[in-house]
Amino acid sequence: MALISNLIHTRFGDFRVAPGDTQLDGRQWKTEILSGLTVALALVPEAVAFAFVAGVNPLVGLYAAFMVGLITAIMGGRPGMISGATGALAVVMVALVAQHGVEYLFATVVLMGLLQIFAGAMQWGKFMRLVPHPVMLGFVNGLAIVIFLAQMSQFKVPGTRVDTGHGVSSGVWLSGQPLMIMLALVAATMAIIWVTPRLTRAIPAPLAGIGIVAAVVIAFGLDVPRVGDLASIKGGFPEFHIPMVPLNWETLEIILPYAVILAAIGLIESLLTLNLVGDMTGQRGGASQECIAQGVANTVTGFFGGMGGCAMIGQSMINVKSGGRTRVAGITAALFLLAFILVGSSLIEQIPLAALVGVMFMVVIGTFAWNSLMILRKVPLTDAFVIVLVTVVTVMEDLAVAVVVGVIVSALAYAWNNARRIHAQIENAPDGSKIYKVQGPLFFGSTDGFMEMFEVETDPLSVTVDFAGSRVVDQSALQAIETLAGKYEDLGKRIQLRHLSRDCHALLSKAGHLVIDSDDDPDYAVAANYGVRTGILGGH
């Protein structure tokens, strides 16, 4: 028993509400379970809709939501975060399913999971710290818009879906009285969610909204779209299933590109959601653990007939704002979802879609960074541009592309700003020599400006370049120093280099003999260390 107790404490030691708490009290247990129920209800239409987008059976999406949600809740790096089948992955899967069939999808999901486990083992999740804040703002704004647009399909007449040939269904929009009733129920759900916390904290506001509106619809027999109109969610327990694909090189060539893209999108969305949830709950770390958890979840899901998944920002926001802070809520959500599939389908299928749309609309309102609209005129123009750019690309393309574009633009802007900082203070010494005191970082972006500072042909016979106010960053910087020294020496002039780090002393080949050692030399490493020592520099 002691061994079991220790194992539970080791694995679930973060079943706590705040730092210092070692276990959940009765009230928090209730909050976590009710929050999990709310999330499970919101997962059903999402999983079914994303399964339609991917071109697979709805149960494939539901199984993925259950298994990915359960495993990441147990193993993930951020308690309170919810994972499941997502649209970001579904839009990539549709081409694979259309061309090669669902069995290749399952094989791809397995490989996707293995790649994510590898990324976690290599601790690549730490690179998410390179995502600037403007990119995060654009990410949440774009995702809020995507969540909003995803709800529009619920305002179409059930059963009128038409395959457009691109894996996306269209249909006939509601109109007249059915549309008015739908909008009224959505508004009622939102109003209940808004007012419930002001009356009681005993029940999560989204669950109250779903429950009350569903009760009204069922009691009065209102003819409105319901969960069952999307598809039947009745099914059995997921069964172990080895993907029926040839185990050969041709299969790998087919699934590997999709697996890499899905793994990247899944990790980017999961790690950004991890950071967002962490900001709301005051938690830090866990990126590598989350990568491994996502990988294990997808690997297992691929062997049990699921379409794979990643973190879901909408459901994660529902959980956090409903009071879910521990692994209990995520595990409960997954178990409730399984119960819906096995025994509760007839009841869940009666829930009006309007109630779930209302919940998601409140998620949109809570997710969108409204303050970003106010600061657009106050922040630097580049940051404002990145916020808008990432938002637009997230909506028009997908999350992974948007984040990569945002990071690249931010990095280029940073490099350009630093490149313009390079300058020199010029002094003429009493002995007739000239001193250049370099200011600003010397790296690939500033090497041209660095070279333009020197008047090689007109300078005196003795020149000193002082790097006390600069920092040599990379291989391009070292090459620029080598080139500068060569120009002076070709004209028979004497040049001395001062206040370079010991690392630069060792890495400079041609100009190494020009460095003046002193006790106040800086101590830092040059990023180009390997390239210089292997002869990329200096003509070795």
pLDDT digits (tens, 9 = 90+) for 230-271: 888 898 999 998 999 999 999 999 999 999 989 988 998 898
Domain boundary among the residues 303, 332, 367 is at 367
What is 184-222 written as a DSSP string?
A: HHHHHHHHHHHHHHHH-SSS-HHHHHHHHHHHHHHHHT-
Q: Three-class SS of residue 392?
A: helix
Based on the domain organization, do 357 and 237 belong to the same domain? yes
**Cα radius of gyration (the chain):** 29
Tokens encoding 462:
């003795």
Judge whether 198 lies within some domain. yes
Q: Are residues 465 and 350 in the same domain?
A: no
Is residue 112 included in any domain, yes or no? yes
Q: What is the pTM of this model?
A: 0.73
179 and 242 fall within a common domain: yes
CATH number at residue 457: 3.30.750.24
pLDDT band for position 465 (cuts 50, 70, 90)? very high
Q: CA-CA distance, 339 to 344, in Å (whole number)?
A: 6
Contact 78, 283 (CB under 8 A): yes
Look at the chain and report how many structural domains it folds into. 2
Give the CA distances from residue 134 to residues 190, 291, 354, 387, 418, in Å, rounded to whole numbers and listed in that order: 29, 23, 33, 5, 19
Q: Are 466 and 498 in contact (CB under 8 A)?
A: yes
pLDDT, position 231: 80
What is the Cα–Cα distance from 141 to 138, expressed in whole angstroms? 5
Q: How far apart are CA 373 and CA 385, in angstroms?
A: 12
Q: What is the DSSP code (8-state) at residue 458?
A: T
Please check whether residue 280 lies inside any domain of the structure. yes
Choose the final residue of a domain: 344, 367, 390: 367
Is there a domain that residue 241 lies in?
yes
Which residues span the domain enclosing 338?
26-367
Residue 93 has pLDDT above 50, yes or no: yes
pLDDT at 251: 94
Nearest-angstrom CA–CA distance, 298 and 307: 8
Which pLDDT score is estimated for 10? 39
Q: How confident is the model at residue 329 (pLDDT cuts 50, 70, 90)?
A: very high
Question: What is the Cα–Cα distance from 423 to 419, expressed in whole angstroms?
Answer: 10
> In this structure, is residue 154 part of a structural domain?
yes
Q: Which of 19 and 138 is assigned the larger pLDDT?
A: 138
| Residue 388 lies inside a defined structural domain of this protein | no
Residue 529 has pLDDT above 80, yes or no: no
Domain stops at, among 339, 367, 395: 367
- The distance from CA 421 to its chain's CA centroid, rounded to whole angstroms, is 32
d(CA 121, CA 115): 10
Structural domain includes residue 8: no
142-146, 150-154, 279-283, 393-397 — which is least confidently predicted? 279-283
Strands 434-442 and 462-472: what pairing?
Answer: parallel
φ/ψ of residue 462, rounded to 5:
-125, 125
The contacts of residue 20 (CB under 8 Å, 6+ apart) are none
Q: Which of 54, 31, 50 is nearest to 42 (CA)?
A: 50
Structure confidence by residue, pLDDT tens digits, 481-516: 989 989 999 999 999 888 887 777 777 766 666 777
Structural domain includes residue 410: no
Confidence of residue 308 (pLDDT cuts 50, 70, 90): very high
Q: Do 494 and 360 belong to one domain?
A: no
Residues 148 and 261 in one domain: yes
